Structure 1
Amino acid sequence: MIARCIGCFVATLLFLSISHAQTSFPRDTSFTLHATYVKEKKYRPYIRIAEVKADRSIAVDLDKIYLQRGSRKLAIDIFYPCPSKSRRSPGLLLIHGGGWRSGDKDQMHTLGRALAMRGYIAYAVEYRLSLEARYPAAVLDLKEAVRWAKTHADRYRLDTTKLASVGTSAGGQLAALLGMTNDSPLFQTESAGNAPTADIHAVIDIDGVLAFHHPESTEGKVAAEWLGGNYTEVPATWSEASPLTHVSSHSVPILFINSSIPRFHAGRDDMISLLQRHGIYTEVQEFDDTPHPFWFFDPWFDPMVEYIDQFLDRIW
C-alpha cells in the first residue's frame, strides 16, 4: 500500500509539472522549496529541508477536484489516518504561501503527512492566485474547500465540529481571514445555500500578516497586485482583506507561530487585544533568529508541529 501511495505521489507530481505548463492561466513559479532552501542556506548553513517518511498509519488522496469554475478545476490533496469505524478525526485546511501570487499546494505535503500521523485529516488546497484572479477569489475558493471537506466527511471520517485553517505567510493571512469571517456576508459563495457552512473552528497563522495597512506592515507591490491597487487607490479593499478588520464575538481561537521578523507579525498584538475582549483564546509561539519561511526547515519544523498539536489539544 505504501509503495502504491508513493508511486501515485510521484506520478501525480509528474502530471502536475506537465499540466501546469499546459494551463491557460498565467503562473508564477518563482516561489519554490529548492530556491528558498538555496537562498536561506547562505545565511544559516545548518538548516535542512524537513522530511516526513511514509507511514502505514496514513493514507493519501491526491488531486481530488473540490471546485470547478468553467474549465478551471481546483484540486485538494488529503492526508488522513487510516479510517476508523469508531472514531472521527479533526481536520486541518493547509494553505500555502507565496505572496498570493506563487506557491503550490504540494509545498504543504510534508506538514500534511506529519499532522496526519498525529491523527488529523490534512487538506492541502489549491486556490487561485493573483495572476489568475484577484482578491477575493482565493478567499471564496478556500471557503468552498471547507464546504467540500464537510460534504465528504464520511469518506475521510472527519469530525465536522473540529476543522481549523493552517496557513503559511500569505496562506497565514488567508487562514486568519477564514477564522475571522465565519459570520460575514462578504464571502458568501454560490453554493452557500446548498452545502454545509464554510465555518471553521480554529486558526493557526504561521507568519501571516493580520493587517495590510498598519504601522508594522510593509506590504507593497505584491499585496497591491492581489488587492487590485495600492492603499491610496483601494483603501476599502485593503481594510476588507485584513483579518484584523473582522474580529468579532464570532471569531475563533488562534495560534500565531512566528519568525523573528517583525513585519510578518503586523496587526498580531492588536488582534490579540480584540480577541481577548471577546474572551477568545489566543496563543503566540515565536522562534528566535529565524528566516521567514522557517516552516520548511529543520530545526524548526518539529517544534512547529508540536505547537500546532498542543494548541488544538488545548482548545478541543
Structure 2
Amino acid sequence: MALALAPCAPGRLGYYALVCGASLPRSAALGALGVLLSPPAGFHAGGKLGRLAGLLSLISSAGSLLVSASALRTAREHELSVSPADGLRGRLDARLAPRTVVFASGKGRQFNADIYAPTGGHTSRVGVVVVHGGAWRHGDKGENAPFSRWLAAHGFLVADIQYSLATERDWLAAVDDIKAAISYVRQHAAELNIDPQRIVILGRSAGGHLALLAAYTADVALRPWRVVALYAPTDLVQLYQHARGQQGRDLREGLHALIGGPPADNRAAYQSASPVQRVPGDAPPTLLIHGRSDTSVPVEHSRRLYRILRRAGARAELIELPFARHAFDLVPEGLWACITAQALLKFAANTQPRARPGG
C-alpha cells in the first residue's frame, strides 16, 4: 500500500507538520525559534502574506513538536531507548550491501531473497524474514533496505524476500512462499550463523497480513519463533467494507485479485484469509505496531487481533503510535522508524513480551 500521510491540521500545513514531526524534530524546534526571533518588521514588510506565512510556519513547527513529543512518550511507555537525535540520523549504515540468493523456484518462476549479514563482529543469531507490502499486487524486496541494514548492523541476519503477487496466483501461494523462505533460512542456519529455532517474520501492510497467516498456519516444523506485523489488515471483510477513496479502490482491487472477487461472492474465503480467524492455541509470540491515524488500515485491525491473541493465552504486544499514518516506517530517519526498530530489538531479546496496559 502506498505511503499515505494526511494532515492533522487543514491543507498541506498538517502534512508537513506530520512529516517533519516524525522525521526532523530538531528542525521543527529551530523553525519555531526562527519565527519567534524574527523581527516584527519582517512580517510587516510582506503585508498580510508575510504575516500569514509566519503564522503558518509557527503552527507547523508547533505541530511537529507535538508529534515528536508524542513519539518520545510512546517510546518511554514501552521502555524503548529512543531520543530526538535518533530521528535525525536514524543510526543507519548505507554501506551494508546484501547478497541475493534463490530460496524457491518452480513453474517457471524463481523467488529471490536479499541476505543482509550481521556486521561488526556482533550477532544475535536471530534470523528475520522480511515480507514487503504493496496491496498484494505490487512491491518487491528491498522496498525498505535502510531498515534491513539497520537490523544487520545490530546483529540480525535479514532475508528480504519476494513472493507471489495476487496478479500471479492466490493468497495461499504467497503464504507458501513465505513458508519456503522460513524453510530456506532454517536449512541454511549453520551457513548463515543463526539459531534455526530463532527465526522472526516481519511484514508490512499486506506483507504483515501474509506474515501473520504464515505464522498462524505453519506446521510445527516451519513455525517461526516470533512474528511482527506493521499496520497489517487482520480482517479482510472489514477492510473491504470500510475501504474509501482512491486508496480504498486500490485495496478492493487488491482483494479481488487476492481472493477472486468481493466478500459477497466468497465470504468464507475472506474469513479464511483473515488472521483474526486463524489464531491457533499455540500461536507464536506476536508484536503488532500500528499508527492511530492510519486511514488505509485502521488501528482497530491490530487492536482486535491483539485482544484475540490475549484471550487465547498467546504472548502478544501492541504498540500504538499517536498521529502515525500508514507506512510510517518508510521514512528511515523518522522517530517512528526508530521506535519500530527498537521495539523489534527488544521483542527478539525478550522471552515474555509485555502486555499493553489494560490489555
User: Under a length normalisation based on structure 1, what TM-score does the superposition of the two structures give?
Assistant: 0.76
1:257 aligns with 2:289: yes
Give, in whole Å, the separation in 1 of the partners of 2:112 and 2:300. Answer: 31
Amino acid at match of 1:231: P
Give, in whole Å, the separation in 2 of the partners of 1:268 and 1:38. Answer: 19
In structure 2, what is the equivalent of residue 205 of structure 1? Answer: 229
Give, in whole Å, the separation in 2 of the partners of 1:107 and 1:205. Answer: 16
Higher strand proportion (structure 1 or 2): 1
Instruction: Assess if the C-alpha contact under 8 Å between 2:92 and 2:150 holds in 1.
Output: yes
Correspondence 1:1-316 to 2 at 5 A? 36=3, 43-44=15-16, 45-46=19-20, 52-54=92-94, 60-82=97-119, 89-183=125-219, 197-214=221-238, 218=243, 220-260=252-292, 261=294, 263-297=297-331, 298-315=334-351
Instruction: Assess if the C-alpha contact under 8 Å between 1:211 and 1:266 holds in 2.
Output: no
Unmatched segments (≥5 aa) in structure 2:
24-87, 244-250, 353-359
Give, in whole Å, the separation in 2 of the partners of 1:51 and 1:296. Answer: 15
Q: CA deviation at 1:252?
A: 0.9
Higher helix proportion (structure 1 or 2): 2
Unmatched segments (≥5 aa) in structure 1:
1-30, 185-196
Partner SS, residue 160 of structure 1: coil
Mark the structure with the bigger radius of gyration: 2
Q: CA deviation at 1:91?
A: 0.8
Instruction: Assess if the C-alpha contact under 8 Å between 2:119 and 2:152 holds in 1.
Output: no
Instruction: Assess if the C-alpha contact under 8 Å between 1:259 and 1:286 holds in 2.
Output: yes
Larger RCO: Structure 1 or Structure 2 (Cα < 8 Å, ≥ 6 residues apart)?
2
CA RMSD of aligned residues (A): 2.9
Amino acid at match of 1:76: A
Give, in whole Å, the separation in 1 of the partners of 2:152 and 2:218. Answer: 25
Instruction: Assess if the C-alpha contact under 8 Å between 1:67 and 1:74 holds in 2.
Output: yes
Are the structure 2 counterparts of residues 178 and 265 from structure 1 closer, same or farther at C-alpha, using a change threshold of 3 Å? farther
Are the structure 2 counterparts of residues 302 and 269 from structure 1 closer, same or farther at C-alpha, using a change threshold of 3 Å? closer
Q: CA deviation at 1:108?
A: 3.0
Instruction: Assess if the C-alpha contact under 8 Å between 1:258 and 1:286 holds in 2.
Output: yes
Q: CA deviation at 1:239?
A: 0.9
Are the structure 2 counterparts of residues 157 and 111 from structure 1 closer, same or farther at C-alpha, using a change threshold of 3 Å? same
User: Under a length normalisation based on structure 2, what TM-score does the superposition of the two structures give?
Assistant: 0.67
Instruction: Assess if the C-alpha contact under 8 Å between 1:83 and 1:156 holds in 2.
Output: no
Instruction: Assess if the C-alpha contact under 8 Å between 2:133 and 2:207 holds in 1.
Output: yes
Cα deviations across residues 193-230 of structure 1 (Å, max 9, x unaligned)?
xxxx3211111110001111138854633212211111
Instruction: Assess if the C-alpha contact under 8 Å between 2:117 and 2:158 holds in 1.
Output: yes
Instruction: Assess if the C-alpha contact under 8 Å between 2:161 and 2:181 holds in 1.
Output: yes
In structure 2, what is the equivalent of residue 12 of structure 1? Answer: none
Give, in whole Å, the separation in 1 of the partners of 2:109 and 2:324. Answer: 37
Give, in whole Å, the separation in 2 of the partners of 1:231 and 1:93. Answer: 30
